[in-house]
Amino acid sequence: MTFAATTRAASQLDTARPGEAELADSSAAALLIADGCLVDAPLGRVGLEMEAHCHDPADPNRRPSWDEIRAVIDAMPALPCRSAVTVEPGGAVELSGPPVDGVLAAIEAMGRDQAVLRAAFADAGLGLVFLGADPLRPPRRINPGNRYLAMEQFFATSRSGEAGASMMTSTASIQVNLDAGPQDGWAARVRLAHALGPTMIAIAANSPMLGGEFTGWVSTRQRVWGQMDSARCGPVLGASGDDPGTDWARYALKAPVMLVNNPEAVAVTQWVPFADWADGRVLLGGRKPTVSDLEYHLTTLFPPVRPRQWLEIRYLDSLPDSCWPAVVFTLVCLLDDPVAADVAAEAVEPVATAWDVAARLGLGDRRLHAAATRCVATAAEKAPAGLTEAMQRLLRRVELGRCPADDFSEQVIEHGIAAAVSRAARSQGGL
């Protein structure tokens, strides 16, 4: 995120070098956050980011090394649709697609780039497993990046140590990025993006295991995130939800500072809300924060819906080819189509805050099942020809109360966990 120098707080900044300007206080920081969090723009663009765990099919308990994974990526041909390839702390591989016009174009582009990525890893004797949580291996960081080392140190000294390690190295998701839309609709759009969370988690739940054991939750990824500090990972939405900018500013200023660049990332191992740093009550690195420090702080906040000029929807488990296009289409349709959005808002209202119930029971909860059935049926009516079959398949599964976690669980019960992971790693469709 880059803040424009022409915000309401510009008079308090050195506009020649805005990133290095020291923040006057938390009020100046709040203005910058609120002014920069969303951009008034038409709806329509969609960007997708997809993560998958990297496994060795011949030895699924082994975590491929950083050098192995980087060698595959460095030797890859250019991706046809220009997705960026990055590696998460535990070795999960992420494709980040550029924004394109329309959800169908985004799905098709991601599918093309995924095919090239999977083929490259298969040629190297490795595979990509599309599950929301690594079902087999204990948490371990392999990415040597300084930022991730500092994050690891932060979590190790916090109340979220175990969950933080699992979040960093054992979870994987699909992120859907959408335009913020016209400003007069921001409040309703952000409210709906939050309210859809539990229902979409139930539909997409695909992580029944962690550390070699069934957890009793259909979305263990969401369970892990729910165990994290709510000041950093909980929902942003304020009491009324009428002013997303103010809600985000309040959230960000209350959140504790995780890392300070001096110039490399250094973990902050005491609880320091960003507001305290900005107001000079605590000095980190021997100084007050700059605009760049504020920008960096925002990248260390992980709510399920994050405003970054656009909306990042961060609550979906990683999914295989058999269902992710339909799940992505459903979410985008329910947010971008005005008629579908109205139906969805009514359908999910009874379960709008049922995050933990969704992660634990999924579609086994009666109210979530009803909301999900209505939402997917609404989206299915609007599906383009290329997604009609996938949407009907998703609708049938939802009506039966099945989520993707059920498929993987059945594989584990029938073949054993190592064999199920190996099979998923060898599959070119993810499971």
pLDDT of residue 158: 86
Residue owning tokens 């890392």: 259
Q: What is the pTM of this model?
A: 0.94
Nearest to 122 by CA among 203, 197, 54: 54
pLDDT of residue 101: 98
Section 198-221 average pLDDT? 98
Residue 153 belongs to a domain: yes
Q: Please classify residue 263 by burial: count the beta carbons closer than 10 Å to its beta carbon, then call 0-12 exposed, 13-18 middle and 19+ buried.
A: exposed
Number of domains into which the chain is organized: 1
pLDDT in tens, 96-111: 999 999 999 999 999 9
Section 251-278 average pLDDT? 95
pLDDT at position 366 over 70: yes
pLDDT at position 4 over 60: no
Residue 36 belongs to a domain: no
Q: Who wins on pLDDT, 162 or 68?
A: 68
Nearest to 165 by CA among 149, 182, 180: 149
Sign (positive/negative) of CA torsion 412, 134, 92, 405?
positive
Residue owning tokens 């050195």: 14
pLDDT at position 123 over 70: yes
Residue 25 belongs to a domain: no
3-state secondary structure (DSSP) of residue 49? strand
Res. 429 pLDDT band, cuts 50 70 90: low
pLDDT at position 11 over 70: no
Nearest to 226 by CA among 132, 323, 130: 132
pLDDT in tens, 21-30: 999 999 999 9
Residue 12 belongs to a domain: no
**Percentage of residues of the chain with pLDDT beyond 70:** 94
CATH number at residue 103: 3.30.590.20
pLDDT in tens, 388-407: 999 999 999 999 999 999 99
Residue 316 belongs to a domain: yes
Residue 11 belongs to a domain: no
Section 131-147 average pLDDT? 97
Number of residues that this document lists for the chain: 431
Residue 262 belongs to a domain: yes
**Percentage of residues of the chain with pLDDT beyond 90:** 91
3-state secondary structure (DSSP) of residue 44? coil
Section 133-159 average pLDDT? 95
Res. 15 pLDDT band, cuts 50 70 90: very low
The span from the CA of 328 to the CA of 345, in Å, is 17
pLDDT at position 6 over 50: no
Residue 226 belongs to a domain: yes
pLDDT at position 297 over 80: yes
Structural domain span for residue 153 = 45-286+288-427
- Per the prediction, the chain carries an average pLDDT of 94
Section 183-200 average pLDDT? 97
